[in-house]
Amino acid sequence: MKQLIYIFSAITLLVDLAFAQTSVQASVLSVLCGIVGFVRAIVGVLAIVLFILGGVLYAVGHFLPATGNLRANMQGWAMGMLFAGVVAVVLFMVAQPLLTVITGLGVAAGSSSVNVACP
């Protein structure tokens, strides 16, 4: 009896997914657009902050005496921040095209066409 209930539940779930495919696609696309909006809003500002802090740390590191490890450490931290800023800029630029590729793969897999434009 339990097996029949499980089979019926699975069939019902598959039928619901087949009929609600467009609403599922719309909700997934909405979530992906929200992620892209977050990336574009936060990561762009974060990249600028990392560039500024990295530049300030690098400049301050050159004023420190060369005898201690603090100068080398500060320059290493600065280079890490500058590299993180570059990665953030790349994420900022790649977010929307990556979303287009991901949804394009879903369309190519046999689903109906989806509008990929995010606000």
Nearest residue to 20 (alpha-carbon basis) of 102, 116, 111, 105: 111
Looking at the structure of the chain, the number of domains it has is 1
List the pLDDT tens digit at each of the 119 positions of the chain. 666 676 767 666 665 555 555 566 667 777 777 877 777 788 888 889 999 999 999 999 888 887 778 888 888 999 999 999 999 888 888 877 877 777 666 555 555 555 556 65
75 falls within a domain: yes
117 falls within a domain: no
Range of the domain at 97: 48-106
86 falls within a domain: yes
37 falls within a domain: no
Per-residue model confidence (pLDDT) at position 115: 56
29 falls within a domain: no
83 falls within a domain: yes
Nearest residue to 25 (alpha-carbon basis) of 97, 105, 111: 111
d(CA 103, CA 91): 18
* Whole-structure pTM value: 0.60
Q: Are 61 and 75 in contact (CB under 8 A)?
A: yes
73 falls within a domain: yes
